[in-house]
Amino acid sequence: MSAPAAKTAAEFVPGVQTLAVLRDAAQKCRGCELYRYATQTVFGEGPTSSKIVVIGEQPGDVEDRQGHPFVGPAGKLLDRALVEAGIERSRVYVTNAVKHFKFEERGKRRLHKKPGAQEIRAYRPWLEAEISLIKPNVIVCLGATAAQSLLGSGYRLTVERGRFVEHPWAPHVTSTIHPSAILRAPGGEQRHAEYQKFLADLKKVRELVEARGAA
């Protein structure tokens, strides 16, 4: 007897789709157990006309409380890097592979906990629905979890970082580190070095968009 199929969010994704409809429907998603503990669903934000989509792993503590993606410390660093890379932040769509904050409690603090493979699969229908509406030219995956959610568990960020590959969801997909990894780097010198590499990856994205006339 075969095992039952893993539960996903597919049954909660509406047939008639706009970003507003998706965002509203996602608040009612019960595709995995993370909704039980998070404050709310944190859906993607940005214009439907975005040519660049940035995908992170999951919302953090600040995002979970405020209901918006990339508004915490890592998000502020991303905003700074996009500006310095010459990418207009207001024209970028930002989202996460997982739409609820997974955490463990340490006293009064809620610390990030990496989502599992089944949880990432559960949220994939939401991510695919977002991308299918936006139809970006470039997808930028921040961190290994985001990259593997699109490109498979065998994808190695340390090997493939900064390279562009074709994907059914976009002509160009690339990966770089998550800005939270820069914030965790020990010492100012190493943080600066990691930030410069992160900035260089984003500049490659800007150069590709300009070369393709996709701005």
pLDDT per residue as tens digits for the range 180-192:
999 999 999 999 9
pLDDT at residue 54, as a whole number? 98
**0.75 cut: is pTM over it?**
yes
83-133 pLDDT, tens digit each: 999 999 999 999 999 999 999 999 989 999 999 999 999 999 999 999 999
7-22 pLDDT, tens digit each: 789 999 998 889 999 9
pLDDT at residue 108, as a whole number? 87
Q: How confident is the model at residue 5 (pLDDT cuts 50, 70, 90)?
A: very low
| Residues contacting 116, CB < 8 A, separation 6+ | none
CA dist., res. 42 & res. 101, Å (int): 8
Q: How confident is the model at residue 215 (pLDDT cuts 50, 70, 90)?
A: very low
Q: Where are the beta strands (DSSP E) in 31-88?
A: 52-56
CA dist., res. 46 & res. 12, Å (int): 22
pLDDT at residue 7, as a whole number? 79
